[in-house]
Each structure stands twice: as C-alpha cells, then as structure tokens.
Amino acid sequence: MKLRKCWWAVIVALFILGCGGASGPVELHLRVASTMYQAANVPVHVAVNLPDGWSRVPAEEIAVVLRPADHPETQVPGQIIRDAEDQPEVWWILPETAANAPTEWTATLSRGQADPATAFHWTDSPGKHLDLTFGDRKVLRYEYEIDENYPRGEHLTALNKTFYHLYDLAGEHLITNGPEEGLWSHHRGIMIGWRDVGFRGQELSFWGMEDRTFQKHIRFLQQIAGPVVARSTALIHWDDSTGTTIIEEKRTATVFRQPAPTIALLDFASSLTAVNGPVHLDGNAEHGGVQYRAHNDVADGAPGSAKPTYYFHQDGIDPHTDYDLPWVGMMYGLNGKNYSVLDMDNPNNPDSTIWSAYRDYGRFGPFFRTDLAADQTLTIHYRFWIAESNMPDRTMLSGMDQAYVAPPSVRVTN
C-alpha cells in the first residue's frame, strides 16, 4: 500500500511539472532590426521557444513585460499568442522604429494575468453582436444579427450582412454607419462584398443584397484578448435566396493597443472559399471590395458634422483612373470632432485595384475583380488606422503604411 501511494505521488509530481510547473521568471533577449522609415506605435512580434515546464501553460496565464536596453526603467506590456501551428509568439508595440539603428529588448515572462483595466475583452450578445472593449471602453462591435424575413424591396435596411462598427475615443458613440434608415444604409462600418457575383449562370448581389442574399454568421472560430492584441475570427456563409452557400468566409479582426488619439489600429483579413463551384466577383468601385462608411450624420449634414476630405500618397492622384494605390486616407467631422481613417492595401492583394475615394457622404475603399475556381481560397488583408484627430501629414501616413507592409524584423538573441 505504501509503495502504491509513493508511485501516485511521483505521477502527480510529473503531471504538475508537465502541465504548468513553470517556476520563476524567464528572460528573453530580443533584437529589433532598423528600418528605412520612421513610424510610431508599431506592432511587432517574434516566435519564441518556451523552456521546459512552460509548454502547456495557457497563453493568457503568461504575463510579459518588455524593457528597452537603453532605458531599462521603461516597461512596455507584451503578450503571448500561439499561431496556427501552436508556436508561441511574443507581441508588443514598438514605441518607434529606429532608422539605421537596431534596438535591444529584454522580455520577462512570468506566471500571471493581465490587469483587466488595461487589457482587451470580448463580450458576446448571442445572435446580436460581439463587443470589443479595452478596460471598460468600447472600441469595436462585430454586428451579425440576421433577419431572413425582411420584405423584398427593403433590403437596404435589412439585417442581412455582417460588418464592423467603430466607436469614438470615449467609447460612447458610434462613428460608422449601421442599417438604420438613411442614405445608402446598406453601406455599413467596415464591410466586404461585391454587387455582381457570378455563380451557376446567375448574377447575384452581395453588396446591396437585392437578391435576398445573406452574409450569415455561423460561429466564432477564435477569440484572443490581452493587453496588446485582440483577435476574433468568424465563419460566415454567403448564401443565395435558396440557402445555397456560394462562398465560405473566415473573417478576422485583429486590433492592437494604441495610445490616444488613436481609436483602433485594425487588421482586417478575409479568406473567401468557393465551396460549391466557381465564383466570379465583379461590380465597380462603387459596389464592391472592402469599404469604410462614416456615420450617416455626415451624409445628412447634421450639426457638428463635416463632409470628408480624401488624402493620397502623392500629389496629382485621380482615384477614378489611378490603379493600385498603396493607401488612401479620409477625414470627416462628427459630433463636433474630426475623425481620420487611413486604409492601407497589402501588396499580396490582387492587382488592378481601383479606389472609390471621392463620395461626399464618407464611403471609401478598394475594389478589384477576380475569379475563384471550385474550392479555391482567396485571402485578402487590409490595415485600418482610425483616430479622433486631424489627418497627419503625408510622411507620417506613409510611415504607418511602411510599418504595415514591411514591419521591423525581430529575432531572439539568447
């Protein structure tokens, strides 16, 4: 009997060591490469190998603090995220890139959880929406309520598509458009769609949704939240009026911690798979792609609002005729404040992209045409910077874009 108890003690001890027996802080030394551009508050990350005893510790139970070598008294929050292959990564926000001068950092990992007051949180209202807060401040809402019984002809205000809403800096008022009655109310927040979608000899609209089509939320595939990064991935079916799924979409919003006056730095990713045969995505710059729509008060000219101004990477740009712009910015007024939005294209997205960036009601974004073969997947990426401020100068905007398409490389040195 005593021998059996001894063996059980050994088994329990081994289990504790293997499943979470991390003891004492771990230090990682990191080197951030220099860049040929200048940018501030840049998300960076690096894959790391955790020591024995840490491999099974949940990422949300690992606290990370980073200190720059030249200012060791400064502390920057970090976060562990595991990638699709379960590889741990350290993420943090680099205060600024260093031109022609690499920087050294020490990341200290310990057991613990983030302070809820200084971390992101996801809160779901089932069947309605998913809210992202930082502390208790609302940042973003994923709207996914669906009503399949709307009358034909009332599609512009119907609940038939998913989109992202943005809040103001205080987290009190929405600054993007929703389905409420107004000018072109099918333009909502940050949305994706095409008006002319070819499928089995049909031409269907997944823009105005005139053909009783739906972008139907099915379920959430992933949710991550911490002091640096929040991420949510949703499975969405693009269905025709018979319920046939034309496209299966995996849509991901990744939001990074940023200082005021930035409201959100949002990476938008969408993977579109033609699950029931070939699909042709078509339309025009006014009716397709990934677009941002300002609150309807801008269209109505409500008190405290102002019509949008658009910004480009160089003088002389005509968005009607100039293709493949790296980024476009828009500033508009709402509730007596100015809001600036920078939409950055990704070089891996399809070529021959043309932008709608001239409407005085505040909708803009890139459009392209493409074909999806049966079972083919197209993945597209964009980054949105949204701030409660005037639009920065072109140098700063270009720096933000470069930090997106060519982020500083990071490696572990110990």
Give residue-wise pLDDT tens across range 171-216.
999 999 999 999 999 999 999 999 999 999 999 999 999 989 999 9
Reduced to 3 states, what is the DSSP secondary structure of residue 76? strand
What integer pLDDT is reported at residue 386 of this predicted model?
Answer: 98
- Provide the token pair at 219: 């379920």
Q: Would you say residue 275 has pLDDT above 70?
A: yes
* Residue 346 confidence class, pLDDT cut points 50, 70, 90: very high
Between 210 and 272, where is the model more confident? 272
Token digits of residue 297: 């008060």
Given a cut of 70, is residue 73 above it in pLDDT?
Answer: yes
Predicted pLDDT at 174:
98
**Residue 17 — left, alpha, or beta (φ > 0 → left; ψ -120 to 50 → alpha)?**
alpha
Q: Are 294 and 308 in contact (CB under 8 A)?
A: yes
% the chain with pLDDT above 70 = 94
What the block records as the tokens of 362 is 């505040």
Domains and CATH numbers, the chain: 22-113 (2.60.40), 116-404 (2.70.98)
Residue 141: enclosing H or E segment and its boundaries? strand 137-143
Residue 17 has pLDDT above 70, yes or no: no
What pLDDT shows up at residue 23?
64
Q: 119-144: per-residue pLDDT in tens?
A: 999 999 999 999 999 999 999 999 99
Q: What angle do CA 206, 354, 339 make, to 5 degrees?
A: 85
Q: What is the mean pLDDT of residues 44-63?
A: 92
Residue 101 is predicted with a pLDDT of 78
**Quick count: other Cβ atoms within 10 Å of Cβ 81?**
18
Q: Distance of CA 120 to CAs 7, 116, 131, 136, 179, Å?
A: 44, 8, 10, 9, 26
pTM of the model: 0.93
